[in-house]
């Protein structure tokens, strides 16, 4: 990662060799080059080589910015060599802190054989437990201090949900490394886009074709109407070999009368979006399956390389009508392997799940099923997505996702948001029914952070009904509220029926809190990044909190309880006996 601005690098590692060939400010490091955010729980085992000088070379991070906002580094270690060939600011862990004396740098270690060492004195941040460690200490075969091991410091001495684990005689590893999020098929040889395994007897559609063909792979239809009209009970799969773009109302796609099932499927030779619902476009799906043709142990002819999402819902101008997708009753979006938002990727558009199902989708980064991004005009008026707030608010349009009914289950994200990921800024999700997860681990959505929903800063999530249950994540299996303490997400809980239930843990990062808009009906279990006495975890909004509401709050592990104070719920430490 080259730059981290208003962001957090959490639970990442690098094992590759990084080589710089410039004699300028290269900001080269194992994890992040230039950081204005927080780096927590990361490690580097790769060598960093500056072959032609350069500046700001280090094992973990090149430059930690001291303002706008102030960066942070904690619970990290590095064992990779750092080769200094006339480089300036070349260090084992971090190369520069802007001469800060207040920046938090804690519980970080470097292998004592790294010759460049690490400065920790005045102007190198507020260093606490930042030191060289021997190989034996890092591998846990020797204590570091007293009876404590390096692993204890990296885990900040917590008793559960430890970010690091260790096998005797090995360097610490991130706990999630033992979890398979994107499981490869067993018993098959991995393939990639380009290996043609399509059933040639079925129907083919290329939305980019200039002429409307006969529906074969060599002469595909160029519109969905023609493709659906050709469906019968023996030819009931439509392979898409080129993007279908909708810029006007397309009505409803569903199986024709008398046809028992209809599947729209990614061709094994195509990796782009199947359908783009563009500005001015709208589409409803009912009684239809859209399949990403991901390789599994059953679908042995599928694709194992990541593709684009099944649907891209977007816009192209600031004042235009955003694209709109409704996933209705009987519609299933499944088996997609994409970079982000594997089933539905929203760029300033709007999508609604109203009776359908999103299942079995995998994201290489964020949003196993759905990822929501804002639309930002590019230099020539086109669109681009961006998590950087440098542009004025009036220049972008947020995206939105609504879950009214239906199910999002069995989806995976390698990073954030097993079911849904909300990217910055002002993007929103509304849940007034339906289920994220289910009643067992078999239906779980999975991610490193935010198994159900992951909220970036300055996003909003309102939930009035529905269920979030049985999802899994290293941190925040239910909902993860990301915050830097200044710019925070808005999560409003306003139950309108007794069926409202968030059974998974809600994770509150850096002063994030829950807004309560109506009386609670089920327990809310929370976990805080930095629990402290009198920390506000919830606040009434257009609603006066009651003791009954306080009693619905539970902490994820022992040692804390809650108190009602001035229409807020505060965290209090249990008395020690």
86 band by pLDDT with thresholds 50, 70 and 90: low
pTM of the model: 0.73
Model confidence over 550-576: pLDDT tens digits?
A: 999 999 988 899 999 999 999 999 986
List helix spans (H) across 310-360: none
Average pLDDT estimate for 144-172: 90
Asked if pLDDT for residue 166 goes beyond 70, the answer is yes
Residue 147 main-chain phi, psi, to 5 deg? -105, 10
ω into 69 cis (within 30 of 0): yes
297 band by pLDDT with thresholds 50, 70 and 90: confident
123 band by pLDDT with thresholds 50, 70 and 90: confident
Asked if pLDDT for residue 298 goes beyond 90, the answer is no
Model confidence over 374-417: pLDDT tens digits?
A: 998 764 445 444 444 444 445 789 999 999 999 999 999 999 99
Output the pLDDT for position 194. 53
Q: Domain coordinates of the chain in residue numbers? A: 3-178, 203-555
Residue of 345, 197, 347 whose CA lies nearest to 273: 345
Asked if pLDDT for residue 87 goes beyond 90, the answer is no
Provide the terminal-to-terminal Cα distance of the chain, rounded to the nearest Å.
Answer: 47
Cβ-based neighbours of 68, under 8 Å, separated by 6 or more: 36
Asked if pLDDT for residue 219 goes beyond 90, the answer is yes
Is residue 454 within 8 Å of residue 421, measured between CB atoms?
yes
Q: How many residues does the chain have?
A: 577
Output the pLDDT for position 576. 67
- Strand, coil or helix: what is 287? coil
244-246 sheet: strands from edge to edge: 244-246, 275-277, 311-313, 344-347, 370-373, 420-422, 453-455, 479-481, 506-508, 524-528, 553-555
List helix spans (H) across 230-353: none
Output the pLDDT for position 439. 83
Asked if pLDDT for residue 4 goes beyond 70, the answer is no
Average pLDDT estimate for 329-347: 96
Q: Which helix (H) or strand (E) holds 78?
A: strand 77-78
Residue of 271, 285, 286, 355 whose CA lies nearest to 313: 285
Higher pLDDT, 53 or 505: 505
- Strand, coil or helix: what is 62? strand
Average pLDDT estimate for 263-283: 96
Is residue 63 within 8 Å of residue 27, measured between CB atoms?
yes
- As a whole number of angstroms, the distance between CA 387 and CA 175 comes to 27
Is residue 280 within 8 Å of residue 320, measured between CB atoms?
yes
Instruction: Give the number of other CB atoms < 10 A from CB of residue 88.
Output: 15
Average pLDDT estimate for 87-101: 84
Average pLDDT estimate for 503-519: 95
- As a whole number of angstroms, the distance between CA 318 and CA 383 comes to 10
Output the pLDDT for position 399. 96
Model confidence over 404-454: pLDDT tens digits?
A: 999 999 999 999 999 999 998 899 999 999 999 998 888 999 999 999 999
Token pair, residue 122, equals 């005045």
Average pLDDT estimate for 483-490: 86
What is the full DSSP assignment across 365-407?
SS-SSEEEE-BEE-TTS-EE----TTS-GGG-B--EEEEEEEE
Residue 30 main-chain phi, psi, to 5 deg? -70, -35
Asked if pLDDT for residue 51 goes beyond 60, the answer is yes
Q: What is the mean pLDDT of the chain?
A: 89
Average pLDDT estimate for 150-158: 92
Instruction: Give the number of other CB atoms < 10 A from CB of residue 230.
Output: 17
Task: Give whole-number Cα distances, 498 to 196, 280, 462, 518, in Å.
Answer: 51, 38, 16, 12
Higher pLDDT, 148 or 8: 148
Model confidence over 175-207: pLDDT tens digits?
A: 887 655 544 433 333 345 557 899 999 999 999
- Residue found under tokens 């999002």: 408
Output the pLDDT for position 384. 46
Is residue 440 within 8 Å of residue 432, measured between CB atoms?
no
Please give the sequence-ordered ranges of beta strands (E in DSSP) within 451-523, or none if there are none.
453-455, 460-469, 472-475, 479-481, 490-493, 501-502, 506-508, 514-516
Query: Long-range contacts for 553-557 (Cβ within 8 Å, ≥24 apart)?
Result: 553/523, 553/524, 553/526, 554/523, 554/524, 554/525, 554/526, 555/525, 555/526, 555/527, 555/531, 556/161, 556/505, 556/525, 556/526, 556/527, 557/159, 557/160, 557/161, 557/527
- Strand, coil or helix: what is 104? strand
ω into 425 cis (within 30 of 0): yes
- Strand, coil or helix: what is 413? strand
Asked if pLDDT for residue 512 goes beyond 80, the answer is yes
Min mean pLDDT across 68-72, 491-495, 522-526 is at 68-72
Model confidence over 348-378: pLDDT tens digits?
A: 999 999 999 999 999 999 999 999 999 987 6
Output the pLDDT for position 2. 42
Output the pLDDT for position 305. 80
Output the pLDDT for position 381. 46
Output the pLDDT for position 3. 42
Average pLDDT estimate for 30-54: 86
């Amino acid at each position: 990662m080259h730059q981290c601005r208003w962001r957090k690098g959490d639970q990442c590692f690098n094992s590759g060799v990084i080589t710089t060939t410039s004699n300028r400010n290269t900001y080269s490091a194992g994890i992040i080059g230039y950081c204005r955010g927080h780096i927590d729980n990361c490690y580097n085992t790769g060598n960093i080589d500056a072959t032609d000088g350069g500046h700001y070379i280090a094992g973990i991070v090149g430059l930690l910015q001291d303002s706008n906002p102030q960066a942070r580094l904690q619970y990290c270690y590095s064992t990779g060599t750092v080769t200094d060939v006339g480089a300036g600011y070349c260090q084992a862990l971090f190369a520069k802190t802007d001469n800060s004396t207040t920046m938090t740098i804690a519980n970080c270690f470097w292998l004592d054989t790294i010759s460049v060492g690490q400065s920790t004195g005045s102007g190198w941040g507020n260093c606490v437990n930042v030191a060289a460690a021997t190989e034996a200490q890092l591998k846990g075969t020797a204590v570091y201090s007293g009876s404590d091991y390096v692993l204890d410091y990296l885990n900040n001495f917590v008793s559960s949900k430890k970010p690091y684990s260790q096998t005797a005689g090995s360097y610490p590893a991130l706990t999630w490394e033992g979890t398979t999020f994107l499981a490869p098929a067993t018993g098959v040889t991995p393939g990639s886009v380009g290996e043609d395994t399509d059933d040639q007897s079925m129907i083919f559609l290329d939305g980019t074709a200039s002429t409307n063909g006969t529906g074969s792979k060599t002469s595909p239809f160029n519109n969905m109407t023609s493709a659906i009209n050709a469906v019968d009970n023996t030819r009931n799969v439509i392979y898409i070999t080129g993007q279908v773009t909708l810029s006007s109302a397309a009505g409803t796609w569903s199986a024709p009368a008398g046809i028992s099932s209809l599947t729209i499927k990614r061709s094994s030779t195509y990796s782009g979006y199947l359908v783009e619902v563009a500005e001015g476009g709208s589409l409803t799906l009912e009684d239809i399956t859209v399949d990403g043709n991901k390789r599994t142990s059953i679908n042995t002819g599928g694709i194992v390389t990541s593709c684009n999402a099944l649907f891209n819902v977007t816009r192209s101008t600031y004042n235009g009508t955003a694209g709109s997708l409704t996933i209705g009753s009987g519609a299933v979006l499944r088996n997609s392997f994409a970079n982000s938002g594997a089933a539905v990727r929203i760029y300033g558009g709007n999508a609604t799940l109203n009776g359908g199902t999103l299942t079995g989708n995998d994201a290489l980064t964020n949003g196993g099923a759905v990822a929501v991004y804002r639309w930002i005009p590019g230099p020539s008026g086109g669109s681009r997505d961006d998590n950087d707030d440098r542009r004025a608010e009036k220049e972008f349009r947020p995206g939105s996702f609504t879950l009214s009914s239906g199910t999002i289950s069995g989806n995976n994200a390698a990073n954030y948001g097993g079911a849904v990921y909300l990217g910055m800024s002002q993007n929103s999700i509304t849940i007034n029914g339906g289920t994220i997860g289910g009643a067992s681990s078999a239906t779980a959505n999975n991610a490193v952070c935010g198994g159900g929903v992951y909220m970036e800063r300055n996003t909003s999530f309102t939930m009035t009904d529905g269920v979030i249950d049985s999802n899994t994540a290293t941190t925040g299996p239910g909902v993860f509220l990301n915050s830097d303490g200044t710019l925070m997400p808005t999560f409003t809980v306003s139950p309108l029926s007794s069926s409202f239930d968030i059974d998974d843990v809600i994770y509150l990062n850096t002063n994030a809190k829950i807004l309560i808009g109506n009386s609670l009906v089920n327990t809310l279990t929370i976990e805080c990044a930095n629990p402290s006495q009198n920390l506000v975890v919830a606040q009434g909004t257009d609603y006066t909190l009651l003791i009954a509401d306080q009693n619905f709050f539970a902490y994820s592990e022992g040692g804390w309880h809650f108190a009602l104070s001035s229409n807020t719920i505060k965290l209090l430490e249990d008395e020690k006996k």
